[in-house]
Amino acid sequence: MRNSQHAGRRTGWGLVALVAVAVSSLVGCSKIRARAQMQDGNKAYKEGAYEEALARFEQGLSLDRKATFAFRSVGLSAMALFRPGDTSPANLKWADKAISAFQTYLKDYPNDEKVEEWMVSLWVTSERYEKAIDYLKQQKRNHPGEPKYNTAIVSILIKAAHFQEAYAFADQYSGKDAKIYYTIATSAWGKSYGDPTTRYEDRVAIVDLGLKAVQRAVDLRPDFSDAMVYFNLLYREKAKVDLDPERQKQWLAQADEWRAKAIALREAQKAKPGSTAASAAAPTKG
């Protein structure tokens, strides 16, 4: 009887071992098949066959759910199929799929800043600004003292044409960053100068806010010549929206004054030994 029991135990353990080997073999085969699918996905992606690439990457993940690095490739393939500016459900599904894949990927690879940028850009280009802002505000709370989130939030608020909110946010979180206020000022000028669909009342408010922002930038950085250039440009916009001919002359005179200041400051900066002139990227003409 005792020998029979021992034999039964040996048989039982043998079956367990066989099952374990079989399972291990199946897992190994699944991983091999998953890698093959992902390699085919890479090939399709390089050839511009993004839907096929997406299908291959998703098939690979279904075979090996631990290969979470592949969610990056899923996101990139779906993002390549998305067309910014098209808000139809058929197009937005690609943005949603890409965002979902990037979110899953970031759970295991939270330090991939590029993927974070792509995800936020998808919210912005699909005109879901609030989702982008909510995400960035959460990241700001998770990374206190990291200025890039303040800049990104202000940029998206401006993109959404929420100029007053952008200025209020800058005051609250970036009160000593001249570049933030400069960004608001340049965007305000661009909206007034380049968007003919802007209502008159909104245009007046945007120009005034731009002047307020550029004043703040110059107060914080008196040698900020690019900001002075936008004083010139914004005063010219102010002259366009003011219906009083006498005040128009005053705004144009102030524009000329700030243009002269900007030119003089740049010349002085160029003349300093070993110094680099302020960026020449800003326009100087009215």
Residue-wise DSSP of 118-171: HHHHHHHHTT-HHHHHHHHHHHHHHSTT-HHHHHHHHHHHHHTT-HHHHHHHHH
pLDDT on residue 276 = 54
The amino acid at residue 174 is S
> How far apart (Å, rounded) are the C-alpha atoms in residues 170 and 156?
12
pLDDT 10s digits, 187-207? 999 999 999 999 999 999 999
Annotated domain spans of the chain = 33-127, 162-286
Does this chain's domain 33-127 share its CATH topology with 162-286? yes
Closest CA to 211 of 193, 184, 191: 184
Report, at the CATH architecture level, how domain 33-127 is classified.
Answer: Alpha Horseshoe (1.25)
* Whole-structure pTM value: 0.75
pLDDT 10s digits, 10-35? 555 454 444 444 434 444 588 889 99
Classified by CATH at the fold level, domain 162-286 comes out as 1.25.40
Ranges in the chain, pLDDT < 70? 1-28, 274-286
Structural contact between residues 34 and 64, judged by C-beta atoms closer than 8 angstroms: yes
What single DSSP character describes residue 68? G
The per-residue pLDDT of the chain, averaged, comes to 88
pLDDT 10s digits, 147-183? 889 989 999 999 999 999 999 999 998 778 999 999 9
